Amino acid sequence: MWRQSRWDEGIVPLKKGIRGLSPLIPYEHEFEDVDVDGAIPRELKRDELRIPSYSELDVVRHYVRLSQESYGVNTGPVPLGSCTMKYNPKVADIVVHEEIEQLHPDLPEEYVQGLLEILWELEQWLKEITGMDRCTFQVPAGAAGELAGVLMIKQYHALRGEKRDEIIVPDSAHGTNPASAAMAGFRVVTVPTANDGNVDMDALRSAVSEKTAGIMLTNPNTLGLFEERIEEIARLIHDVGGLLYYDGANLNGILGIARPGDMGFDIVHLNLHKTFASPHGGGGPGGAALCVKKELEELLPRPLLVKKGNHYYWDYTCSRCIGSIRVYYGNIPAIIRTYLYILSLGPQGLREVGEISVLNTNYLVKRLVSSGYYDLPYGTRPRKHEAVLSAARIRRDTGVTAEDIAKALIDRGLHAPTIYFPLIVEEALMIELTETETLYEIEQYAEALIEIARKAYENPEELKKMPLNTTVRRLDLARANHPKRLVLSTKYLMKEVMEKG
Amino acid sequence: MPHPWIPNSAPEIKERMMKELGIESIDELFSDIPAKYKLNRLLNVGLGRPLSEYEVKKVFKEKLGKIAKLDNAPFLGGEYCVHYVPEVVKLVLRRDEFYTAYTPYQPEINQGILQALFEYQSLMAELYGVEVVNASMYDGSTALAEAIRMALRITRRRKIVISRGIGPLKLDVIRTWLRGLDVEISEVSLSQEDGTTSYESLEDLVDSRTAAVVISNPTFYGSIERRVDDIAGLVHSRGALFIVFSDPISLGVLKAPGDYGADIVVGEGQPLGLGVYYGGFTLGILGTRREMRFVRQLPGRLVGLAPTIGGGDRGFALVLQTREQHIRRERATSNITTNSALTAIAAAAYVMYMGGEGIRRLSRSILARTVYFLGKVRAELKGKALPLFARASYFKQVPVAFPGHDYNEVFKKLLEHGIVGGTPLGRYDSSFNNVGLFCFTEMHSRSLIDDLVRVLKEVLG
Ligand SMILES: Cc1ncc(COP(=O)(O)O)c(C=O)c1O
């Protein structure tokens, strides 16, 4: 039986340290005779830093132990829908490399031609994969790509002397889509999903107007369904002068099979940490690309990489661009990992990614639906990268919720799917296996879900108590969130300790 | 074509699965994609075929061959400087359970990551002198842009007063992030004398419409601000918020911004043992005071202490998620989802490894190198080069003006001598064509700095 480690590690910086220790600082002794007394204005001098010191072994053990209380793809399957938690190939770890580690962005371009060449070649590949004309890697993640994208949409209309203030977003969309549109000052117009899982076309037709700046879509959508009427949607939006933004988070299921550029999208972001196997790092840093059609190239954030002859350089000129989304050029390790990933798989492998991720999804759906416990809302069309099942019937019959099911899964050492998203599915279980899980793991996962459902009918109380085998038992989030009980750093605790004496 | 990263591509298994689904060909799973959108050919990517691990490494090596190997640490500055990355930090970056995990949505199975992030929040709170720091932003520049947006929401005002000490790169990012909003941005110059934000200009500009005053301490140009208490007093007396951006490694010797009245603190985590990576793979630090009207407007993830149900045990979980996009959608504090969790954990490991004493020593030693270089410039380059702000106190970075020279030329000549000099500032601000921004860290030995000054003397003639 699986049991997760539990170490009861003390919390740094409250954990007891050792006074008088600190690592050697390079060349420190060479500057000991420099007088720094008057170097800082008196009122700005710091007198204490309340962080203890620890031995190097203490530090190593602390993090090894904390890592053992954590769970990632290299521990077991993490089929979080919308997250594309695939295997992060080990070969790409060579990028954590001394030679890249200390490369400064202000180095002369001649010094980093090899790196710029990687960026350039990868841009060509991503253009081919998406069917777009120009890409930048400056955007640090998908959401930042969305912000850049909607700012470009704003700029596009402004340059044409038009004031359009509405962005259309389906109700199935990821929260970042409406959030990004709002950050750029747009009003968000939500359109519902029809029973077949496509955008409700009647609703869309009445939502579209001369105020429409654009639409944000992901295709396949968050139900894992391909938006079948994409041609008509593109026509509707383009006819009123709007633009189409493609949220690339779900590209995995059509990789090498269909391209957003061919479907009429004008701006596309890719999440390198999803589709292209760059790791998620427990939340980040990720990596992203933002790709556009030719007409929008001059709006892209600056600088842009340019190739002249066999020489690569950065172009900072910006007459109509939106500025820059962050300093410098993007998350270089994630970009290199993407490069190595595509290089490794080649054209055949990439297509295989699309095909097998979809095969895996549908196989799991079949298993779960035929068990009779889980329902598949929005019709039986084949799913793509992911599927959203509903545990609503289990909940009605037994009181066991999607969250209880998630806790029962982690109790078995299997990571739970995304739950309660998309919002349009009751008791949603959004499962994305990706192409990197074996049939054996898929069978195990299906079996676990079916057994849990069975248990829900036999002994729901038992499920409510789970998890028992994880580092801690089920946490009380209501209490954790209570404004009076909130503890956001050890500073809260120190205050309490001091107040109590 | 079967590939070991795609196990079910093995023909036998693939067929078995297809049979179970009752399909003859994989294409049937894509029957809902209109024919006109089907690619029906292979992508033209990579080298046109899959590559073995050995071949992939060969290609990468060939690219590395076109990247210069530096014998000595460069003096380049600006938003990033070279800092040493301890092996302990690399161990943390390479732990499989950390780097292959997702955001800890299921807290019970990811206590380790959550505790590490809680510790990051706590350590940064200590450094910056606040009680609350979120679980990371993308980088310093976007964290600062989000800090400003946060201040706009809290005060419901529409004007921002920004010191030029923020530097041209972050200013550009801020302008981009404020594009969607109808916000007035006033810039305040630095004093030519001592490189501090002009207090008199602030008095003129900060009014009842001002949401926030934004300074950097030290500034982008390395100068240390002086009248921070006065600025804080002024800002607060006009009902605005005080936002301070600080290099975390300066906080071993400099007073914490929270201790001189900053309402929102921001930083770039790269100096905390993260490597430069050509400007990627960094960490945005963003914190505020322990007041719910601030905390509720803080973007990004927050880890809090959480009891188990029925009590008896403590753990950690993501808290206050109702601020975030997946729940609040267009009314969220931000769209941020993926952040910089791994680099945040690495930065926390760095601080733990250094300890408070180590950070203070490192900070003092960087200050000593800065002072040492300034002394050499004043003594040995008299009449040829001078610090941009004659009477400023500097930390880590020193902008040096070379009157009568194009600094780009000086930079090139340094390269010929195997020295990568300071960042040519003309690249980011044409009024600084004769200025180089030199950075000094633990990677720069005395003899390296001596060489720099000697060669500068030579090339300046
Ligand atoms: C559908 C969808 N869109 C956008 C995003 C945001 O991407 P990122 O996390 O890279 O900012 C995500 C991922 O969380 C997503 O699943």
C-alpha distance from A101 to closest chain B C-alpha (Å): 5
The domain defined by A107-344 carries CATH number 3.40.640.10 = yes
Please indicate whether residue A216, judged by its CB atom, sits closer than 6 Å to ligand 1: no
Best CA proximity match to B427, nearest among B456, B403, B410, B407: B407
Residue A12 and residue B112: Cβ atoms within 8 Å? no
Around A137, how many Cα atoms within 13 Å sit in the side-chain half-sphere? 32
- Picking from A12, A23, A86, the nearest residue to B358 by CB comes out as A23
Specify the CATH number of the domain B356-459: 3.90.1150.10
Closest alpha carbon within chain A to B421: A107
Residues of B in contact with A353 (CB under 8 A): 6
Residue whose CA is at the smallest distance from ligand 1 atom 8: A142
Whether omega for the bond prior to residue A382 falls within 30 degrees of 0, making it cis, is: no
Of all residues in chain A, what percent carry a pLDDT higher than 90? 96
Query: Is A62 within 8 Å of A12 (Cβ atoms)?
Result: yes
Please indicate whether residue A357, judged by its CB atom, sits closer than 6 Å to ligand 1: no
SS3 content of chain B, % helix, strand, coil (to 5): 45, 15, 40
Say whether residue B317 is in contact with chain A using an 8 A CB cutoff: yes
- Picking from A25, A67, A230, the nearest residue to B442 by CB comes out as A25
Distance A176 CA to ligand 1 centre (A): 7
Full-model pTM: 0.98
A438: three-class secondary structure by DSSP: coil
| H helix or E strand, kind and range, residue A370 | helix A332-370
A184: three-class secondary structure by DSSP: coil
| H helix or E strand, kind and range, residue A467 | none
Each residue's pLDDT tens digit, B139-168: 999 999 999 999 999 999 999 999 999 999
Closest alpha carbon within chain A to B167: A327
Distance B335 CA to ligand 1 centre (A): 9
Closest alpha carbon within chain B to A90: B53
Q: Which residues contact A108 (CB under 8 A, 6 or more apart)?
A: B415
| H helix or E strand, kind and range, residue A398 | helix A392-398
Tokens of A126: 């991503």
Please indicate whether residue A176, judged by its CB atom, sits closer than 6 Å to ligand 1: yes
Tell me the mean pLDDT in the region A395-422.
98
Q: Which letter, b or e, does each residue of A214-239 get, where b requires 16 or more Cβ atoms within 10 Å of its Cβ?
A: bbbbbbbbbbbbbbbbbebbbebbee
Residue B102 and residue A72: Cβ atoms within 8 Å? yes
Residue B332 and residue A406: Cβ atoms within 8 Å? no
Residue type for position A423: L
- Does pLDDT of A499 surpass 60? no
SS3 content of chain A, % helix, strand, coil (to 5): 40, 10, 45
Distance CA(B114)–CA(A69), nearest Å, equals 9
Domain B87-350 class in CATH? alpha beta
Each residue's pLDDT tens digit, A26-50: 999 999 999 999 999 999 999 999 9
- Does pLDDT of B204 surpass 80? yes
C-alpha distance from A417 to closest chain B C-alpha (Å): 10
The domain spans of chain A are 107-344, 349-479
Number of C-beta neighbours around residue A478 at 10 A: 10
Q: Which residues contact B378 (CB under 8 A, 6 or more apart)?
A: B386, B387
Distance A86 CA to ligand 1 centre (A): 15
Sheet holding B435-439, edge to edge: B386-387, B397-401, B435-439, B423-424
Domain A107-344 identical in fold to domain A349-479:
no
Closest alpha carbon within chain B to A412: B109
Say whether residue B328 is in contact with chain A using an 8 A CB cutoff: yes
- Does pLDDT of A501 surpass 50? no
CA angle A367, A273, B43 (to 5 degrees): 80
Cα B447–chain centre separation: 30
Interfacial B residues in 101-160 facing A (CB < 8 Å):
101-113, 115-119, 121-123, 125-127, 131-133, 135-136, 138-142, 149
Residue B33 and residue A106: Cβ atoms within 8 Å? no
Please indicate whether residue A218, judged by its CB atom, sits closer than 6 Å to ligand 1: yes
Distance CA(B421)–CA(B415), nearest Å, equals 7
Residue A326 and residue B142: Cβ atoms within 8 Å? yes
- Picking from A128, A228, A273, the nearest residue to B338 by CB comes out as A273
Domain A349-479 class in CATH? alpha beta
Each residue's pLDDT tens digit, A183-227: 999 999 999 999 999 999 999 999 999 999 999 999 999 999 999
Residues of A in contact with B123 (CB under 8 A): 12-13, 51
Best CA proximity match to B162, nearest among B251, B77, B82, B266: B266
Query: Nearest 10 degrees: CA dihedral of A150, A153, A159, A165?
Result: -80
The domain spans of chain B are 11-53, 87-350, 356-459
- Does pLDDT of A285 surpass 60? yes
Number of C-beta neighbours around residue B404 at 10 A: 8
Each residue's pLDDT tens digit, B274-322: 999 999 899 999 999 999 999 999 999 999 999 999 988 999 999 999 8
Q: What mean pLDDT is reported for chain B?
A: 97
